[in-house]
Structure 1
Amino acid sequence: MKPLLLLDVDGVLNPMGRPTPDFRRYRCTIGTDVYTVHLNPRHGRRLLELAVVTGSELVWATTWEHHANDWIAPRIGLPSLPVISMGSSSDAPASEYGEMFKTPHVAAYAGQRPFVWFDDQVWAEDEEYLRVHQGLADFLLVHVDPRQGLTSRHLGMAHEWLTLTGFSQGS
């Protein structure tokens, strides 16, 4: 079973803190809303390398949904990726364990596939939901500090977990 690498945008690829010089600023227009994002063009290459080396599939797990393929992917060098539909946060069922609204959608999409989820809002409550409610055991939640965004350390954690658990499908 090919493992998944699940990507959030805001707080992960688009940090909330003051970006370092390797980030570029972009303005994105979605409908009538204009957003400013700070993206590091190296993130795409590094994520693709991780996917190839581990034989994993990159998937958007973000409220940007398909807009991530339009606005984020081309600016960091990613191809169009599959998207987990998040629905509306107001339509989400009541939280059972204190998990965030995206967690049930991620669980449904992943099924029994192992996955690494990079997000700035994953906590122990999300892990409990996935283990107890969904019966999943083969996942790694990588909490990303939203002030800094995705770092080499986060990518290294994913690589190590996929390799040591034997889920890596890569060379």
Structure 2
Amino acid sequence: MRGLLLLDVDGPLNPYAAKTHRRPEGYRTFRYTRRGTWHSGRDARRYKGLRVWLNPDHGAQLRALADDTGLELVWATTWMHLANTLVAPSIGLPELPVIEFPETDFDRDTGWLPDGSWKWRAVAAFAAGRPLAWLDDEHDDGHHEARAWFDRDRADVPTNLCHVDPRHGLWPEHLDGIRAWAATIPR
């Protein structure tokens, strides 16, 4: 059974919590506007919208990690299918499977429900007992009940919850840790 390498966008790939006016080294600026347009380069400065910092080296690094470990890359992000449309081409990833988060857990005015259970439940259902490594910045963000349920549900399944600081984004140490963890899983 092939294991999974789950990718969140905001935090691991987009260090959104970095100093506002100091783009991290190696990253490029993108803008996602309310009209649904995606801009990069000089155009990213001309448009207002959600600022996203992405490192184009991450795509090759993640593909190499998947090749080395046999893990399947999967989006586990509230960007859902937009991750394939916007983020993947910007960092050199192919189209990946997407974990769907239920619309019932989203409120147009307040966003995703604050208990966090929606993400944990959707990941557990998608993984269906497969080993997984999960790059995310919210594993320990006060979702204690949801996290406890997830840990019980996956008690006998190899699981690596790899926390990524949203001020810094993905580092080689994260990838090295997943590579070492994956080496312990029979293929």
> Is TM (by shorter chain) over 0.5?
yes
2:5 equivalent to 1:5: yes
Deviation at 1:30, TM superposition (A): 5.8
- Alignment-derived partner of residue 139 in structure 2: 122
Deviation at 1:100, TM superposition (A): 4.3
Larger radius of gyration: 2
- Alignment-derived partner of residue 51 in structure 1: 66
* Paired residues of 1:127 and 1:141 also in contact (CA < 8 A): no
- Unaligned 5+ residue runs, structure 2? 38-48, 108-112
Give the letter for the 1:112 counterpart.
G
- Unaligned 5+ residue runs, structure 1? none
- Alignment-derived partner of residue 110 in structure 1: 127
Give the letter for the 1:157 counterpart.
G
Partner deviation per Cα, 1:118-163 (whole Å, 9 max, x = no partner): 0000128355222224555321100110100111111111111110
Work out the CA distance in 2 between the residues paired with 1:136 and 1:118: 20
- Alignment-derived partner of residue 166 in structure 1: 185
Task: After TM superposition, list the pairs within 5 Å mapping 1:49-128 onto structure 2.
Answer: 49-88=64-103, 89-90=105-106, 100-123=117-140, 125=144, 127-128=147-148
Task: After TM superposition, list the pairs within 5 Å mapping 1:1-40 onto structure 2.
Answer: 1-16=1-16, 17-18=18-19, 19-29=23-33, 31=35, 34-40=49-55
TM-score (norm 2): 0.79
TM-score (norm 1): 0.85
* Paired residues of 1:7 and 1:62 also in contact (CA < 8 A): yes
Deviation at 1:87, TM superposition (A): 1.8
Deviates more, 1:129-138 or 1:67-76: 129-138
Work out the CA distance in 2 between the residues paired with 1:128 and 1:30: 36
2:175 to 140, 155, 163: 155
Give the letter for the 2:52 counterpart.
V
